[in-house]
Amino acid sequence: MNLRIFPPEEMLDANVKLPLSKSISNRALIINALSGRSQSIGPVAKCDDTDVMVTALTSDSDCVNIGAAGTAMRFLTAFFASQEHRTVTIDGTERMRHRPIKALVDALRNCGADIEYANEEGFPPLHINGRRLQGGKISLSASISSQYISAILMIAPMMEQGIELTLEGDIISRPYIEMTLSLMKQWGVESTFSNNVITIKPQRYNAIDFTVEADWSAASYWYEIAALSSGFVSLNGLYNNSDQGDSNIATFMECLGVITEFEDDVVNLQPSPEISPRLNLDLSDQPDLAQTIVVTSCMLGIPFHLTGLSTLKIKETDRLEALRTEMRKMGFVLEIERDSQLIWEGVRVPISQMPVFETYEDHRMAMALAPIALMLPGIVINNAEVVSKSYPEYWQHLQEAGFRFADADAPITTDEQDPS
């Protein structure tokens, strides 16, 4: 599905019921399963990533295909490794077969796991023979993916010795690790996290009733829309002081002209004339916000230097290269440094045609690029259906906010588009 997008004809004033948090949902599903609870928890996110998690956890099949869901691959690898007498082969899309998982497998093997590579060493698919894991003292690089760490932490209470996990190097996406430990505590598991060492003793999860809050990552695209439209947006289901690291979008967007007002479980976004002349941010804790911040800053003409982006190369696509390529279509010349930094110093080149953006099978590319239509009506988003990975209702919600869509091959009949 290729969409041509046009902005609302009137001042934007949107009230949005956001999807539930994918990050919280996936952790809650794993922890709930480990608690031995027979019934499912309350409503969870309805998206591809969570759907495959639910299917895998409720199926007796010895072959599990998680598609493009990287979180599911990591969490389920650890989960199945800890399930005694369960044998599973876990696989995914062709892209998933090229996303590294060796660091997690090595760490699980050090805990006593029986995991073999079905094809290429270091990559899915994986053949897993579940067993009671020994645990003990292990080390894991903290600079690759916090999901490796969370995957091990959630099964740690089930290990004979528990675990003493030393995180080596700079910790990225720390809020996601803290989110995992916080959720584990709600299910009754205690832990300590001090000086890069996480300790969890053998213990049992307690079955509880649990409610999933709305998704701050999904909220980020509405912050972008608010910044580029100077309109008003209300987002439902969000809370102040959330465990979700991406809730920091509220702070970041203050620099880009958006004020956040909290009212119970509603967040109201209002325009502000206060916009920073330059943005320098370390996104080590919130790398998934990079696309939103890059596109917003470029479209507002604000130079930036973003660091802490080393994990973007192993996401659904190489997001550093994807951003550089797609923003060039708008004339913005971005630089990549050390495979972990994105820089724009204000350099632009002319463009001669209406941009047609690729999404690279990456939901966040599609959602971050779409709001460009507010400033350049008629842009095209190719393979727009990729949003189903985390926010299936995204296009519907944009339409309800006044955005208009047309077939990408249909001619543009208005004279309002001038890409030069």
How far is it, in rounded angstroms, from Cα 369 to Cα 93? 24
Q: Which one is catalytic: 288, 318, 409, 415?
A: 288
pLDDT score of 233 = 97
Tell me the C-alpha distance between 404 and 186, whole Å: 43
> Buried b vs exposed e over 323-358: b needs ≥16 C-beta within 10 Å?
bbebbebbbbebebeeebbbbbeeeeeeeeebbebb
In a domain, 417, yes or no: no
Q: What is the pLDDT of residues 135-174, one digit of tens each?
A: 999 999 988 889 999 999 999 999 999 999 999 988 888 9
Q: For the segment 260-312, what is each residue's pLDDT rounded down to a tens digit?
A: 999 988 999 999 999 999 999 999 999 999 999 999 999 999 999 999 998 88
The mean of the pLDDT values for the chain is: 93
Of the ranges 38-42, 396-400, 412-416, the best mean pLDDT one: 396-400
Closest CA to 86 of 117, 65, 60: 60
Judge if 138 and 263 occupy the same domain.
Answer: no
Residue 241's pLDDT band (boundaries 50, 70, 90)? confident
Residue 415: predicted pLDDT: 45
CA dist 282 and 177 (Å) reads: 18
Tokens 């702070």 sit at which residue? 251
Instruction: Give the number of other Cβ atoms within 10 Å of residue 15's Cβ.
Output: 14
Position 92 scores a pLDDT of 95
Domain boundary among 148, 167, 199: 199
CATH number for 152: 3.65.10.10
* Helix, strand, coil % in the chain, rounded to nearest 5: 35, 25, 40
Are 288 and 184 in a shared domain? no
In a domain, 415, yes or no: no
Active site residue 209: no
Q: Are residues 164 and 118 in the same domain?
A: yes
Give the helix ranges, DSSP H, for 230-353. Answer: 249-252, 290-300, 319-328
User: What's the rounded Cα separation, in Å, for the pair 265 and 272?
Assistant: 22
| Mean pLDDT calculated for residue range 44-59 | 92
pLDDT digit string, tens, across residues 310-368: 888 777 779 999 999 999 999 999 999 999 999 999 999 999 899 999 999 999 999 99
Residue 418 in any domain: the answer is: no
In a domain, 175, yes or no: yes
Domain shared by 254 and 393, yes or no: yes
267 and 127 within one domain = no
Mean pLDDT for the stretch of residues 370-380: 97
